[in-house]
Structures are given as structure tokens and as C-alpha cells.
Amino acid sequence: MIYTPSILAILLFSVIVITVLAISVFFARQSGSSKGYFAAGGTIPWSVNGIAFAGDYLSAASFLGICGMIAVAGYDGFLYSIGYLAGWIVALFVVAEPLKRLGKYTFADALDSKYNYRGIRLMAGISTLVVSIFYLIPQMVGAGALVTPLLGFPHYVGVIMVGSIVIFIVATAGMKSTTYVQFIKGALLIVFSTILVFAILNKGLSLKPGETYHDFIQIEATVEDNSVTAIADTSWTVTSQQQTKAGTFVQLEKSGVRRWFSLETAGNNSYLNEALSITKTTDGSVLYNGEPKEKEAFFQVGHLSRIIVDGKEIDKTGPLGPFKFLSTLEESEVVLFNSASFSNGQDSVSLWYQSPISGKKIMRPGLKFKVDKGSTITSKMDFVSLMLALFFGTSALPHVLIRYYTVPSPRDARKSTILAIVAIGFFYILTMYIGLGAMVNGVLDVQSSNMSAPLLAKAFGIFLFAIISAIAFATVLGTVSGLIVAAAGAVAHDLAASLFPSKDISDKARVVIGKTSAISVGVIAIFLGIIFKGMNVSFLVGWAFSIAASANFPAIIMMLFWKKTTAKGIVASVGTGMLSALLIILLSPSMFERYGLPADSAFWALDNPAIISIPISFAALIIGSLLTQKQKTS
């Protein structure tokens, strides 16, 4: 899409970033020790920690990814919200207090405190690093997506910017600053998202989303043998036709501008409906809807084609209550934009065409996840696998685990988890309205769903857009900071202790190692954030959950609840869980597309590994533990 930056947005953005840096510098003086750097000295009040939990968790994936996915795939995007929230039940009821009672700074410390075995520290440290890096990728992708409309910079500049600011934050301050940044940001995110939802409901639903919304052209056509032979509007002339798997597309020309249309048939009549297109020509130029970029002819989309209230078809509803909004949408018809790509002579064409779909289908599963018509056993398995990963992954995420060590007692750990559930649960209900609001208010960027929520805010005024974008950017900053501290903790405490067991690493040296690791992980995250540009951030986070659920969750659960668990069993579980999840992801259809290969040439049709890798991890732990019982008793 073509974005024009706004001065107000830039100003507000700058204020937020400067505030974040100021907090960081302020707390830097209080985090000289390793306890201060990695666990904020265990002094954070539970109420602050609870909202900081929410701030950590409501990352780019939640705010940008889920809202974006709901905006393009309806209810299927909301399934992420449900899975993410349900995961907190596992954290609260099973993991929070027992883990807190074990004390320590990291997940590996907790495991090691019971077994005192070097291999555990090494394996758990590696797993923390891998999960943190996988979780960092979507945050960086989100950062890149944000700065483009906000500041007018390309994607990679946003990624480098976030990476650099965060490296500065974590290399100077540590856990206390990230906690307070997350607290402020978590609170602001919930407040302004609520305001946005009020604005959506107050506006209601309308066939014309806004005064400036593009009027998509429809032209009656005569079709013979699947080919357009004449069109009703003679100011246009047919210049090309393409038959693809997705349908028939026709190029028309008027006043020297060529645009693409999709051919639709209704009864005995045929129509050409205007589409959006990006054409790359052989001379290297890129045309947006047949015109150069500066003509700004590549429109935002998303509208209703029919609104039905109590059985009557109307043009607009006026303000709606929260339940009426959802039920009206379910009765109505929405126009989504599907993508297709093909070659037209020497030109390469990417096209997004209108696809009307009933509200009933939008408000139930099946648009993104193949569980309905055309589904296979594997596609259903893929869905179950994702829901498993979301349920069991939350409590095994390093940056969630580390937050249990920042409060003074197990009771505080429990209270902050409950506060987090309330705040996060409320926010996830809001995502449904923000996502659907974006779907029908003409704000979508067909090239990337990630910006749906901030662009929706823009429809309600530049101030709301600026503040929401700035908060979203702070969201990324805070989450990335927390993740990098967790990863740095894993390197400084676990890997260093495993690799140099004979050396007594001083407290000061540990912080230096942690900060050096933070910088290195930050640089890796910048690199990966640029590579994964354009993928939905919630989908990417699903992978981090899968790895965490496979590598860490079985070890945590069995350590707490199975007395026969041995150190070697845990090492086997973390290792096989992590490697099997990684293997399935790296050879999945989505990764094959990233490699530039056809998705259907992937080794398997499964994108989400948890349904296979979690049982493998449990099996490895049980077998490993049973085989090493003698060593345990001796």
C-alpha cells in the first residue's frame, strides 16, 4: 500500500519512544547485580507485574496479528485469541506457584534446582534461546509493518530501528525497566483499544465505509466460450484475458490506464468487477492499479455488500450494541479480497479480487483453517495441533516464565497471573470487534494484514491512529526487550555455567555476558525480522508456542508431577521436543514458500508441529527417566 506519514503521528511516536528510553535509563541505576538485571531483584508489586504480564503477552502477535487475521479470515483469527488466553489457565493452575516455589532466575535454574545436572542447564538454555528467537521474529516483522504507515520508512528500517532501541534498553537496564515499560504499555493498549471499539460500535455498519472509499466499478459483460466478447461500458476496451485456477481475469483500458477485473456470473448475466493489481513490467517499473505509485491508485479495501437487520436489507445501521453488531454482521454479506498471481505476456501480475461471502461463514471456523469443505485429515490435524500449541505453549514461554521471578512470593505470582488473565481476556474480546471493524470499514491493506488495527484507528481520526500506532510500537519494544532479557539470561546463567563448569563466574561477569548476549540476539532478530517480512505475525508466533510447548512444557509438568522423572529424562525430552518441532517447521509448506519453493513440494502438509512433537517429547522423558532410574536411586 502507499502510505503518507503524518506529523502528529511522528510527534506522538517520538514522545512514546523517548519515554521508554527515559524509563530505561532511570532504572539502569538500580540493576547493577545479576539479580537486579534478570529478575528486577524480585521486588515488583504483583499488580504492576500482572499488567506487565499482559503487556508482555499482548505483543505484536495479539494486537497486530490477531486483529489482522480476524480482518481477513473472520472467526478463525479469533481462535488464536481463545487459544492464547486458555494457555493462561495452564500457567495459573499448574505452573505458576510450584515454579515460583523453586525460585531461581530462569527455566533452566528451576529444572536444575531439582536435579543439579549439567546437561539440563545446557539443553534448557538452548531451548530458551531458540524459543525466544522464534518469538522475536514476529515482533520484528510487526515493527517493520508499523513504521511504514507511521513514518513512511521501508520495512527494514523499522526492524533495524526497533532492534537498535531495544538493544540499548536491555543492554543498559534489564528486567526492571522492561517491567515498567510493559506495565505502562499494557495499560495504555487496553484503554485505547476500548476507545477504538466504542468508536466502531458507535459508527455501526454501512455499505459505504467512508466518504473517500473507492467506488469499485462493475461492468456488464457478454461472454462466449468463457471469453469476454463485449462490455456494456464502451469507454473501456478489453486488452487482455487470463484464465487461472482462481478464476478469469480481464484487463481493460481507459485513457491509457489499464486495470484488471474479475469475471463473475450471476444467473444468465456476467459482470466484470474491478480488482486491485500490482504489475511488474520487464523494464523494472511497478504499476499500482495500472498507474505509478505517486498517483495513489492502490486503494484500501473492505466493505459490506449487503446489510440485513431483522430480515430487512438496509444501507446502514447507525450505532449498534456489542451483541447486535456481531449478530447483524452474521446476517449480512461481506466482500473479502482474495489473491491471485499470473504472468501477462512479459509482465508479472499480483491481483486481489472481490469475493463476497456470507456473514455466517465469517462468524464460524473454516475460512483460514481447513476444517470445513475440502478439508483432509492432515488439515484438521494441523488445526488441532495449533490449538494444542497455544494451550500448552503459554506456560512454557521463557519471557512468561521469567516474570514469575520478579515478584516477591508465590502468592504474588498467583495474583499477578490472575490480573493478567482478566486484562488479557478483556483485550481478546476487544480483538473480535477491532478485527471485524477493520474488515468492513474500508481500511485494509491487501498486501499485509498486520496493519489492520492501526489503519482502522486512522479511519476514526489521525490522533487515534497516532496513539494506537505509538502504543503498538511500544508493544513491540517492550516484548522484544523482555524476550532479549530472557534469552540473555539463558546464555549468561545456563550456557555459560554449562560450558565453563570449573570456572566460578562472578556476578559482574554474568551481567556482562548477559548484555553481550542481548546485543547478539538483537542483531539476529533484526536479520530474521527482515527475512520474514509480510507473514502474519500471529501465525509466526504460533511456531514459537509450538516449540515452547514441545521443548519445555513436558519437562515442567513431569518435573512437578511425576516422581520418577530423572535429569537425563528431562534432557531427552527438551532435546527431542525442540528438535522434532524445529524439523517439522523447517520442512513445512509455509517454510517451503519462504525458500521460494512450491508449498505442495514440502515434506509434509503439516504447518504446526505440536500434535506430533509434544507426544514425542513426553515419550522421550518417560523412556529416558525409566531407563535411568538406577542412576537416580544410586
Partner 1 sequence: MDHGPAVEHEDDPASEYKTRLGVKLFIIYGIIYAGFVIINTFIPTFMETRIIFGLNLAVTYGFGLILLAIVLGLVYNSVCTKKEEELKNTGTDGGVS
CB < 8 Å & 24+ apart, contacts of 578-583: 578/126, 578/127, 578/130, 578/547, 578/550, 578/551, 580/550, 580/609, 580/612, 580/613, 580/616, 580/617, 581/546, 581/547, 581/550, 581/551, 581/609, 581/610, 581/613, 582/130, 582/547, 583/609
CB 75 within 8 A of CB 363: yes
CB 327 within 8 A of CB 311: no
39 contacts partner 1 (rule: CB under 8 A): yes
**3-state SS, one letter per residue, for 27-50:** HHCCCCCHHHHHHHHHCCCHHHHH
Q: Please give the size of the binding site for partner 1, defined by CB under 8 A.
A: 68
CB 62 within 8 A of CB 445: no
31 contacts partner 1 (rule: CB under 8 A): no
| Nearest to partner 1 of 459, 559 (CB atom) | 559
105 contacts partner 1 (rule: CB under 8 A): yes
Region near partner 1 per CB under 8 A, out of 100-108, 125-133, 344-352, 530-538: 100-108
Minimum distance from residue 109 beta carbon to partner 1 (Å)? 6
Tell me the chain's radius of gyration from C-alpha atoms: 26
In angstroms, the CA 337 to CA 249 distance is 14
Q: Which three cell numbers stand for residue 390?
A: 497455544
Minimum distance from residue 90 beta carbon to partner 1 (Å)? 7
Among 257, 418, 586, 605, binds partner 1 (CB under 8 A): 418
| Residues 422-481 within binding reach of partner 1 (CB under 8 A) | 422, 425, 428-429, 432
Distances (CA, A) of 218 to 306, 378, 441, 561: 16, 39, 20, 64
| Nearest to partner 1 of 86, 619 (CB atom) | 86
Among 17, 30, 47, 98, binds partner 1 (CB under 8 A): 98
Region near partner 1 per CB under 8 A, out of 15-23, 108-116, 128-136, 148-156: 108-116
CB 222 within 8 A of CB 270: yes
| Nearest to partner 1 of 45, 408 (CB atom) | 408
357 contacts partner 1 (rule: CB under 8 A): no
Among 60, 61, 73, 90, binds partner 1 (CB under 8 A): 90
140 contacts partner 1 (rule: CB under 8 A): no
Cβ burial of 119 (10 Å; 0-12, 13-18, 19+) is middle
| Nearest to partner 1 of 303, 403 (CB atom) | 403
In angstroms, the CA 616 to CA 619 distance is 5
CB neighbourhood size of 410 (10 A): 17
75 contacts partner 1 (rule: CB under 8 A): yes
The pair phi, psi for residue 292, each rounded to 5°, is -60, 160
391 contacts partner 1 (rule: CB under 8 A): yes
319 contacts partner 1 (rule: CB under 8 A): no
| Residues 539-598 within binding reach of partner 1 (CB under 8 A) | 561
| Nearest to partner 1 of 289, 565 (CB atom) | 565
Among 23, 67, 79, 540, binds partner 1 (CB under 8 A): 79
Bridge partners of 237, per DSSP, are 253
509 contacts partner 1 (rule: CB under 8 A): no
Site for partner 1, rule CB under 8 A = 35, 38-39, 42, 75, 78-79, 81-82, 85-86, 88-90, 92-94, 97-98, 101-105, 109, 112-113, 116, 118, 121, 323-324, 326-327, 330, 360, 363-366, 369, 371-372, 380, 383-384, 387, 391, 405, 407-411, 414-415, 417-418, 421-422, 425, 428-429, 432, 493, 497, 501, 561
